[in-house]
Structure 1
Amino acid sequence: MMRAPGGWRRFLILLPILCFLPYFFSVRELHQSTTIGDLPTKRTKFDHLVLGPAAGQGLPNRLQCQGSKALNKTKFSTSSQVPNFGEKIEFVTVFTIYNSTISVRADEKASNLVTVGNVSYSKEERSMAILNTFVNFIQVTMPQSNLVILTDPASDFSISRNGVTVYPIQGEYSRDKLMLQRIRSYIAFLETRLREVSRRPEHVNHYIFTDSDIAVVDDLGHIFHDFPNFHLALTFRNNKDQPLNSGFIAVRGTVDGISRAKNFLQKVLEVYKSKYINASRMLGDQLALAWVVKSHPSFDIRRFSKAQAFVEDVGGASVLFLPCAIYNWTPPEGAGQFHGMPLDVKVVHFKGSRKRLMLESWNFFSSSSDISDMLCLVLMSGRTKYDF
């Protein structure tokens, strides 16, 4: 058999790389391919979006994209399409600003600036930009909803937005204790709402407790109508050690719903303090959630292997388990299997270093006004590490 010339062999080896290169480009240069020097290197965080091929191509019930255009756009619901039963939804998040009393030199401050689009942010300004973007998405997809920000009374920040209330709650908001304090703040907030609804049982507000680095991309009001018998809702994934994510907790705003949800979270808090206090900076709340649920005698953990909603009684509360794939979808980082984005995704969670992607996504949506196209941008950017 004749051997192919050496040049041809080198060309065939390089061919897959050459075919792949055009998929990497900045969001500011959507129609230009990059050079080899722009390609990601291991553990590099980028100061601009780097787009690659959209995962899930050809798979059923997954978003299909051609560039930044969605090919199978879903008709996302709006508040006007969701039945109105006189019940409102309040989003609740915990947020604080860590103010430094140490003066920072001008050159050090400049080196910490991060630019997204035409705006440069300091560390504190980044946090506020994320919070404002969180509010923006809610006000687009659920304009009739209100937002409550639970915070440290000593935290020095202000936000003037319609439908947004800052609610100080005393506690320990240091970085090392923030996840522990978050559960305490949720419980304290529910106690105040329990007193209010006990006086006015006909006045029902449902509550969705979330991280502030999420984008609500579809109306969530249907949860309380489609599943009428749950007290609180959690999101789950097929993960043996951390099957539950604490970034999304829904509570039915009735006396029974608030009371049982509060009692459930108090059990989680007790387990957190007794078993996982060494993980108080992060993950401890999720480990405690999983322990409370999995320790219930009748609970079958195999139900977490299928991305289908189900209701189970746990510790005196009726708990609705919602799949993260729809209600808490996170763009994966780095290697690993990735099967794309479900067409009916309702919440995108920009964890960790995906914060730039959240801001860039809002900027893209502001210019396009198309949720589906924006989700293509997220899908094509989701496996890259960014700078904050």
Structure 2
Amino acid sequence: MVFLLRQGFLGMRVCFGWRKFIIFVTLVFFLTHFLSVLELHQNPKIKDPHQKKNKKFGHLVFVPAAGEGLPNRLQCKGMKALNKTHISASSNISNGGDGIAFVTVFTVYKSSVDARASETTVVGKVSYNKVERSMAILNTFISFIQLMMPESKTIILTDPASGLPLTRNRVTVYPIQGDYSRDKLMLQRIRSYIDFLGEKLVESRKPGQKISHYIFTDSDIAVVGDVGHIFSKYENFHMALTFRNNKQQPLNSGFIAVRGTPDGISRAKVFLEEVLKVYSTKYMKASRMLGDQLAIASVVKSHASFDEKTFSSHEPFLEDIGGTSVLFLPCEVYNWTPPEGAGQFHGMPLDVKVVHFKGSRKRLMLESWNFLNSSSSHDLSDMLCLVLSSGRTKYDF
């Protein structure tokens, strides 16, 4: 009996000893972790080992092209297209004096204001500082237009004070007063469009004035097909917008077409004035980006007859929005974005007309143009394979 009691006491002492040891180790662990976290907050230069690295690459990173085996999608083997996109040469719709003018807003920010202006980026064998890089994007934008639609014109709406260094054939620099600061640039873009349309409305009413249709775009797009056909194929619209199946941002402002008749210009101007009003009253917190797209969607959705379910369609459709006949064109054809993050992973339609190099994809825009011009054996479909097989990482633009 005494022996059993002694053994019991020894067992309890061992048990209590292990419990003390476990408690001690636990306290040491939590104390060490707490001090590490405290040091991290006090010294932000120390990197959290658990923090994900968001590395940017100075080169393209290739993966298998999306859309493999899907019908009516570009099929690629490496950088070689196995089928061809439905690309046609410019139809030159200038019969009877009609023509196409691409319009974009662009300004150059002075290096004294931008501390990062001296940073350099190498694309291919060319090194760019920030201003040179922006100009390279603009020139590539123009080059794609002139390749695919050589009879068209390009108009650059800009800050009169920017002194835009650009001299190219069939390109006009068009100064418009306004606030082109970075935080207000998207807001100013809508204002510049309205001012431009106001001046063109006056011109369009002059006797004998030739019609010129306008396509307002971002400067980071590549025209890879003749988009002028929309003005002859769809005869009853005043302006056109591009849509996608996205509940929060169903409309993208990177492509807006306006029929160059007095009625078309007038109706489009009224529509954009309503967008500006909504933008200024509801979405100023998103003035640096997205505010214009949210405002456009708000104006469209505000009409009781409009059914949002039509945004899930893949076909163009026509709607009357406050007296303006608006043609809605699918983004997958007229505003296709290379896959990155939430990009379109179902491949590239064979009838794609416009590729939009949003955000960090701008390096890909320059690389694509360089690839197209690097060999006589490369054609536009091969270049689109380059686009389709890359873009799924963060670049340095």
Q: Same fold (TM over 0.5)?
A: yes
Match of 1:151 in 2: 158
Q: CA 1:63/1:323 → structure 2, altered by over 3 Å: closer, same or farther?
A: same
Supply the distance in 2 between the matched residues of 1:234 and 1:205 (Cα, whole angstroms): 18
Supply the distance in 2 between the matched residues of 1:250 and 1:159 (Cα, whole angstroms): 24
1:126 aligns with 2:133: yes
Match of 1:45 in 2: 56
Comparing 227-236 and 67-76, the one that deviates more? 67-76
Aligned-pair distance for 1:306? 1.2
Aligned-pair distance for 1:293? 0.2
1:384 aligns with 2:397: no
Query: Which amino acid is 1:277 matched to?
Result: M
Match of 1:374 in 2: 383
Cα RMSD over matched residues? 1.7
Supply the distance in 1 between the matched residues of 2:202 and 2:92 (Cα, whole angstroms): 32
Once the two structures are superposed, residues 110-146 of structure 1 have per-residue CA deviations (whole angstroms, 9 ceiling, x without a partner) of 6x11000110000000000000000000000000000
Match of 1:6 in 2: none
Q: Out of 273, 276, 289, which is 1:269 matched to?
A: 276
Match of 2:41 in 1: none
1:61 aligns with 2:72: yes
Taking structure 1 as the reference length, the TM-score comes to: 0.86
Aligned-pair distance for 1:193? 0.4
Query: Given that residues 201 and 255 in structure 1 are in contact (C-alpha distance below 8 angstroms), is that contact kept between their aligned partners in structure 2?
Result: no
Q: Out of 57, 70, 76, which is 2:87 matched to?
A: 76
Q: CA 1:219/1:335 → structure 2, altered by over 3 Å: closer, same or farther?
A: closer
Supply the distance in 2 between the matched residues of 1:212 and 1:352 (Cα, whole angstroms): 12
Supply the distance in 2 between the matched residues of 1:267 and 1:286 (Cα, whole angstroms): 13
Aligned-pair distance for 1:335? 6.1
1:91 aligns with 2:97: no
Query: Which amino acid is 1:209 matched to?
Result: F
Query: Given that residues 278 and 295 in structure 2 are in contact (C-alpha distance below 8 angstroms), is that contact kept between their aligned partners in structure 1?
Result: yes
Taking structure 2 as the reference length, the TM-score comes to: 0.84
Supply the distance in 2 between the matched residues of 1:337 and 1:215 (Cα, whole angstroms): 17
Aligned-pair distance for 1:80? 4.6
Q: CA 1:109/1:256 → structure 2, altered by over 3 Å: closer, same or farther?
A: closer
**Count of residues in correspondence between the two structures:** 344
1:325 aligns with 2:332: yes
1:239 aligns with 2:246: yes
Supply the distance in 2 between the matched residues of 1:103 and 1:225 (Cα, whole angstroms): 44
Supply the distance in 2 between the matched residues of 1:364 and 1:237 (Cα, whole angstroms): 29
Aligned-pair distance for 1:203? 1.0
Supply the distance in 2 between the matched residues of 1:268 and 1:347 (Cα, whole angstroms): 24
Match of 1:195 in 2: 202
- Secondary structure in 1 aligned to 2:160? coil
Once the two structures are superposed, residues 191-230 of structure 1 have per-residue CA deviations (whole angstroms, 9 ceiling, x without a partner) of 1100001013651000000000000000111000000010
Q: Which runs of 5+ in 2 are unaligned?
A: 1-51
Map 1:213-228 onto structure 2 (within 5 A): 213-228=220-235
- Secondary structure in 2 aligned to 1:101? coil
Q: Which runs of 5+ in 1 are unaligned?
A: 1-40
Query: Given that residues 275 and 296 in structure 2 are in contact (C-alpha distance below 8 angstroms), is that contact kept between their aligned partners in structure 1?
Result: yes
- Secondary structure in 1 aligned to 2:389? helix
- Secondary structure in 2 aligned to 1:154? helix
- Secondary structure in 1 aligned to 2:352? coil
Aligned-pair distance for 1:367? 2.0
Q: CA 1:221/1:69 → structure 2, altered by over 3 Å: closer, same or farther?
A: same
Q: Larger Rg: 1 or 2?
A: 2
Aligned-pair distance for 1:84? 3.8
Supply the distance in 1 between the matched residues of 2:309 and 2:111 (Cα, whole angstroms): 47
Percent identical pairs in the alignment equals 71
1:345 aligns with 2:352: yes
Query: Given that residues 338 and 344 in structure 2 are in contact (C-alpha distance below 8 angstroms), is that contact kept between their aligned partners in structure 1?
Result: no
Supply the distance in 1 between the matched residues of 2:117 and 2:103 (Cα, whole angstroms): 32
Query: Given that residues 334 and 385 in structure 1 are in contact (C-alpha distance below 8 angstroms), is that contact kept between their aligned partners in structure 2?
Result: no
Supply the distance in 2 between the matched residues of 1:356 and 1:200 (Cα, whole angstroms): 46
Q: CA 1:67/1:95 → structure 2, altered by over 3 Å: closer, same or farther?
A: same
Supply the distance in 2 between the matched residues of 1:307 and 1:75 (Cα, whole angstroms): 17
Supply the distance in 2 between the matched residues of 1:49 and 1:242 (Cα, whole angstroms): 28
Map 1:100-115 onto structure 2 (within 5 A): 100-101=111-112, 112-115=119-122
- Secondary structure in 2 aligned to 1:235? strand
Aligned-pair distance for 1:329? 0.3
Q: Out of 240, 245, 257, which is 1:250 matched to?
A: 257
